[in-house]
């Protein structure tokens, strides 16, 4: 079984014909379970969950139209999962819980992209990294990630160490290893699932998410995984899966998680 649940169709219209371009690539690359997981901030219905000047400019879409694309694809005979990627902002837990329950999602991805007003993975804010204390920034990110997982609101953690996206990484291995162990313990205690994401290979950092040390800690703590591409273009669906599969197997994983109506099933990785 291979999955690709973390994909974004936002560069085109919410139509079945556009979605079919992603589905065609998924089929070609042996993806048995494909899902679409648009960024939540794009939709009018999520304004109460996350609002800042950057998202305000990009909140142009209707979530019901997005959902209808998925449902129309199913009526046309396609098997496609209905997901969403939500930014976790501390303090919005009650509103997040109510919102997630209001739509028939197959899964909801929890991600951290913002540290207060710093969208740390945005190219237009990259310059701010030059003035960051790396350990302090990583501490802030991992603390927010820990809070997110403790809410148990989300079905899996998106790109758990995306904080390294531009290649700014502390050179203190002990510091990172301590965090990896603590994160893995939190993931395990709160029943989190972690994705192996190939998106980092297409970013300046040029590495898979998560780091080998974090994935190893997750394996030791019995944290389950799935594999995703975080594709924003049809051609990136299932990209570099040979490397992700090898990474998972070398770490010791033989199974991955699949989702349907927010229920987990374990399947053989392959």
Is the Cβ–Cβ distance between 190 and 145 less than 8 Å? Answer: no
> What is the reported pTM?
0.97
CA distances to 30, 36, 53, 255 from 17, in Å: 20, 14, 32, 32
Q: Which helix (H) or strand (E) holds 146?
A: helix 134-151
What mean pLDDT is reported for the chain? 97
Single out the residue of 106, 91, 213 nearest to residue 154, CA to CA: 106
pLDDT of residue 270: 79
Q: Based on C-alpha coordinates, what's the Rg of the chain?
A: 18
- Take residue 226 and report the two structure tokens written for it: 């799935």
Q: Look up residue 179 and give its two tokens.
A: 């965090």
Handedness of CA 64, 66, 67, 71 (dihedral sign): positive
Q: How many Cβ atoms sit within 10 Å of the Cβ of residue 265?
A: 11
pLDDT in tens, 214-241: 999 999 999 999 999 999 999 999 999 9
Helix 173-189 vs helix 134-151: angle between axes, to the nearest 10 degrees? 10
64-74 confidence digits (pLDDT tens): 999 999 999 99
Give tens-digit pLDDT for 57-100.
999 999 999 999 999 999 999 999 999 999 999 999 999 999 99
Average the pLDDT over 126-153 and give the result. Answer: 97
Distance CA 250, CA 213 (A): 12
What sign results for the dihedral spanned by CA atoms 233, 67, 50, 197?
Answer: negative
Cβ atoms < 10 Å from Cβ of 175: 14
Query: In this structure, what token pair is assigned to residue 50?
Result: 């996350």
- On whether the CB atoms of residues 269 and 254 are closer than 8 A, the answer is yes
Quick check: 119 pLDDT over 90? yes
CA pair distance 163, 202, nearest whole angstrom:
15
Buried b (16+ CB within 10 A) or exposed e, 123-147: eeeeeeeeeeebeebbebbbebbbe
Q: For the chain, give percent helix, strand, coil, nearest 5.
A: 45, 20, 35
- Full set of structural domains in the chain with CATH: 3-268 (3.20.20.140)
Q: What percent of the chain has pLDDT over 70?
A: 100
Model confidence over 142-161: pLDDT tens digits? 999 999 999 999 999 999 99
Task: Tell me the average pLDDT across 101-107.
Answer: 98
């Amino acid at each position: 079984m291979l999955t690709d649940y973390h994909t974004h169709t936002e560069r085109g219209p919410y139509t079945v014909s556009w979605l079919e371009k992603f589905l065609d690539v998924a089929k070609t690359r042996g993806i048995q379970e494909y899902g679409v997981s648009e960024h939540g901030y794009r939709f009018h219905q999520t304004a109460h969950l996350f609002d800042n000047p950057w998202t305000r400019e990009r909140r142009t879409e209707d979530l019901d139209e997005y959902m209808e694309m998925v449902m129309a694809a199913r009526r046309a005979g396609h098997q496609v999962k209905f997901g969403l990627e939500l930014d976790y902002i501390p303090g919005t837990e009650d509103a997040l819980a109510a919102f997630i329950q209001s739509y028939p999602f197959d899964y909801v991805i929890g991600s951290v992209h913002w540290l207060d007003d710093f969208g740390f993975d945005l190219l237009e804010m990259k310059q701010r990294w030059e003035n960051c204390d790396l350990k302090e920034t990583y501490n802030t990110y991992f603390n927010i990630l820990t809070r997110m997982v403790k809410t148990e609101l989300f079905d899996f953690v998106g790109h758990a160490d995306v904080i390294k996206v531009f290649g700014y990484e502390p050179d203190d291995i002990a510091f990172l290893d301590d965090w990896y162990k603590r994160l893995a313990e939190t993931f395990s205690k709160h029943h989190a699932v972690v994705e192996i994401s190939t998106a980092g290979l297409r970013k300046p950092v040029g590495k898979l998410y998560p780091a080998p040390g974090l994935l190893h800690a997750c394996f030791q703590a019995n944290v389950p995984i799935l594999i995703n591409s975080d594709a924003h273009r049809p051609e990136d669906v299932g990209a570099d899966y040979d490397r992700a599969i090898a990474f998972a197997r070398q770490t010791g994983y033989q199974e991955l998680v699949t989702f349907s109506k927010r229920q987990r099933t374990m399947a053989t990785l392959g």
